[in-house]
Amino acid sequence: MEIKEYILIIRKRLPLIVATTLISTFIAAILSFYILPPIYKATVTLFAGRSTNSNGSNDNIQALYSDVLLGQQLVKDYREIAVSRTVLERVIKELNLKMTTEELSNMVSVQLKNDTRILMINIESKDPKFAATVANKLAEVFIEAVQRIMKIENVQIVDKAVVPDKPEKPKKLLNTAVAFILGLMVGVGIAFFIEYLDNTIKTPDDLEKYLQLPVLAVIPDLDEGGKN
Amino acid sequence: MNAVKEVIALYNPRSPITESYRMLRTNIQYSSLDKPIKTIVITSTGPSEGKTITCANLAVVMAQAGSKVLVIDADLRRPAIHKVFGVSNKVGLTNLLVENKKFEEIVQKDGVEGLDLITSGPIPPNPAELLGSKKFENFLNTISQSYDYIIIDTPPCGSLTDAAIIGRIVDGVILVAAAGEVQIEAIQQAKENLQKVNANIIGVVLNKVKRQTSSYYYYYYYYYYYTDESGETVKKKKVGRRRKKDDRYTLPSDGRR
């Protein structure tokens, strides 16, 4: 097959391709704009490092460096502690939430910034205020838990969670765009599949290939050619 | 002349479609070197692939080139020639075969110079038997003395034997294949059916080719030549895309060379 034939197939099945593209885009748009509830994300940024009162002398550089390394190692532990059952249970208890730890843990995600000592705790919820409250409470409980468990007092809050004003999910335009491309691909796929299943004679080449009979004439379709 | 508009060779002699029928005419002329093709059966694999329209247009372009042409409607199951040419079907082939009517009583003149018609006549219960009779064969042999070409429209050969029965006793069979309609296996079966009775299949007419699906296959003929009223072949400025494959087709001409 040549590129030209591909183009002809696509042109022939254009209504089908346009239809699948439009339908999938439409469904995605309806889902993300009207059906899916908006989810808000509140984030607390934490820093895992001793608050050094460094005077900038060379003696302290060594200590500072090991502190950096230690901090980078420890954030991984912190990540696990942040979503531990003890911490979650404590948050639920302190905020009087009516949910299980599992439900809460589904809302929580912890993000580490690579090669830094920065740790981000995200709370996703339908209610933006609630997300911020839980995020801040979780950070608080988490710092206490670190002190209690690891006996290290080196986690500080960098940014407290604020009430998010824009929903994080659904990503309406992204979803719609993805659905558009997906619909387009599916449409083209179906078009080629139909063409593949179509075992009718279409060109003089087909006749000579499958019948070994000479082609005496190729007559254009009356409806198209007669307009000349 | 009450022919339907599909007989484009009558209404639009300059149409590229008419040009395609002229090419068919030329290719039939040159398809056999030893024995000239005089009696031609036109059939197809399935119904409505364009047999009757091909018959009519081929007959018209042959008559226009000065040949004496007889069209016989041997589709005794669903006759259509009389509809295409807009003539009566009160008497026809079956009257000749069953009631022993004379040829002169059933032949009809058409508006076109040199073109005669024999319609099917009343629909008989046993078409295959009639067409397989010695009488029909003798009739064909006799009548072919007075014409340059006899074109016979028949039922589809995919499921019915009629075309093969006549195909046996004529000079050549032409298969009409509707592009995008006839399945490869079906037309292969049709070809086998014809070959079983030793019919001489001259070739295939690919009908209903859509520009959109296979443009470049006929672009070339489309614009390269057209025949003007004086029958002279005139070269047009607009030359369609030409591919190597096109070379094997005979260029359309006015057929009088």
When mean pLDDT is compared over A63-72, A204-213, B215-224, the highest value belongs to A204-213
Predicted confidence (pLDDT) at residue A74 exceeds the cutoff of 90: no
Residue pair A70/A48 in contact by the 8 Å Cβ criterion: no
Answer whether residue B162 is part of any domain.
yes
Q: What integer is the mean pLDDT of B81-88?
A: 92
Q: Is B230 a domain residue?
A: no
Retrieve residue B147's tokens: 């014409």
pLDDT for residue B78 is more than 90: yes
What's the whole-number average pLDDT of chain A? Answer: 81
Mind listing the pLDDT tens digit for each residue in A19-59? 999 999 999 888 888 888 888 888 888 887 765 555 555 56
**Is residue A219 in a domain?**
no
Residue B255 lies in a domain: no
In the structure, what pLDDT confidence band is assigned to residue B232 with cuts at 50, 70 and 90? Answer: very low
Q: How far apart are CA B77 and CA B159, in angstroms?
A: 13
Identify all chain B residues contacting A228, using CB atoms and an 8 Å cutoff. Answer: 12, 15-16
Q: Which domain holds residue B112?
A: 3-210
Q: How many residues does chain B have?
A: 257
- In a domain? residue A48: yes
Q: Residue B238: which pLDDT band, with cuts at 50, 70 and 90?
A: very low
Mean pLDDT of B44-66: 93
Pick from A120, A126, A125: which is nearest to A105 by CA? A125
B228 pLDDT higher than 50: no
pLDDT band of residue B253 (cuts 50, 70, 90) is very low
Same domain, A115 and A201: no
Hey, is the C-beta of B214 within 8 angstroms of any chain A C-beta?
A: yes
In a shared domain, residues A175 and A146: no
CA distance B93 to B139: 10
Put simply, the answer to whether A228 touches B20 (Cβ < 8 Å) is no
ipTM over 0.90: no
Among A58-67, A84-93, B175-184, B211-220, the least confident range: B211-220
State the average pLDDT over residues B52-72. 94
Query: If you search the block for the tokens 């226009």, which residue do you land on?
Result: B64
Name A144's Cβ contacts closer than 8 Å, sequence gap at least 6.
none
A220 assigned to some structural domain: no
d(CA B146, CA B167) in angstroms, rounded, equals: 20
The pLDDT of residue A116 is: 78
Cα dihedral across residues A10, A12, A14, A19: positive or negative? negative
B residues 182..211 contacting A (CB < 8 A):
182-185, 187-188, 191, 201-211
**What are the CA-CA distances from residue A110 to residues A148, B78, B177 (Å)?**
20, 79, 68
Q: Which of residues 106-135 of A touch B (CB under 8 A)?
A: none
Give residue B27's pLDDT.
92
Residue ranges with strand state E in B84-228: 108-109, 115-118, 149-153, 172-178, 201-209, 225-227
Chain B residues with beta carbon closer than 8 angstroms to that of A203: 179, 206, 214, 217
Domain encompassing residue A201: 3-33+171-211
* Percent of chain B topping pLDDT 70: 81
* CATH number of domain containing A78: 3.30.70
Q: Is A1 an interface residue toward B (CB < 8 Å)?
A: no
pLDDT at B171 over 60: yes
A223 located within any domain: no
Note whether residue A91 is domain-resident: yes
Give the Cα separation of A145 and B21 in Å (integer): 92
Residue B7: inside a domain, yes or no? yes
Q: How confident is the model at residue B241 (pLDDT cuts 50, 70, 90)?
A: very low
Average pLDDT score over residue span A111-135: 84
Residue A211 pLDDT exceeds 60: yes
Q: Is residue B228 part of a domain?
A: no
Contact A215 B206 (CB under 8 A): yes
- pLDDT at position B229 is 44
Pairwise CA distance, residues B154 & A74, whole Å: 90
B5 falls in which pLDDT band (50, 70, 90)?
A: confident
> B87 or A198: whose pLDDT is higher?
B87
Q: Which of B6, B8, B217 sits opposite A218 (nearest CB)?
A: B217
Q: Is the pLDDT of residue B18 over 70?
A: yes
Q: Is residue A224 part of a domain?
A: no
Name every chain A residue with its beta carbon within 8 A of the beta carbon of B212: 8, 11-12, 224
Evaluate whether A174 touches B159 at the Cβ level (below 8 Å).
Answer: no
A224 touches chain B (CB under 8 A): yes
Distance CA A154, CA A138 (A): 17
Determine contact, residues B122/B130, Cβ cutoff 8 Å: no
Bridge partners, residue A111, by sequence: A120
pLDDT at residue B231 greater than cutoff 50: no
Do residues A184 and A103 share a domain?
no
pLDDT 10s digits, B21-48 = 999 999 998 888 788 899 999 999 999 8
Same domain, A14 and A26: yes
What local confidence, expressed as pLDDT, does residue B143 receive?
Answer: 94
- Give the number of domains in chain B: 1
The answer to whether the beta carbons of residues A44 and A136 sit under 8 Å apart is yes
Rounded-to-integer distance, Cα A34 and Cα A178, Å: 17
pLDDT band (50, 70, 90) for residue B167:
very high
Are A71 and A139 contained in the same domain? yes
pLDDT computed for residue B1 by the predictor: 56
Same domain for A176 and A147: no
Give the global pTM.
Answer: 0.64
Answer yes or no: do A78 and A176 share one domain.
Answer: no
Q: Please report whether residue A206 resides in a domain.
A: yes
CATH code for the domain in which residue B29 is found: 3.40.50.300
The answer as to whether B224 is a domain residue is no
Query: Higher-confidence residue: B110 or B79?
Result: B79
- Binned at pLDDT 50, 70 and 90, residue B96 comes out as very high
| Higher per-residue confidence, B154 vs A122 | B154
Which residue, among A194, A218, A223, A228, would best test binding to B if mutated, counting the most B CBs under 10 Å from its CB? A218
| Residue B21 maps to a domain | yes
Residue B243 lies in a domain: no
Question: How many domains is chain A built from?
Answer: 2
Q: How far is Cα A81 from Cα A85, in angstroms, rounded to an integer?
A: 8
Sort residue B7 into left (φ over 0), alpha (ψ -120 to 50) or beta: beta
CA distance A100 to A87: 12
Could you count the other beta carbons within 10 Å of the beta carbon of residue B251? 13
Angstrom distance (rounded) from CA A176 to CA B253: 57
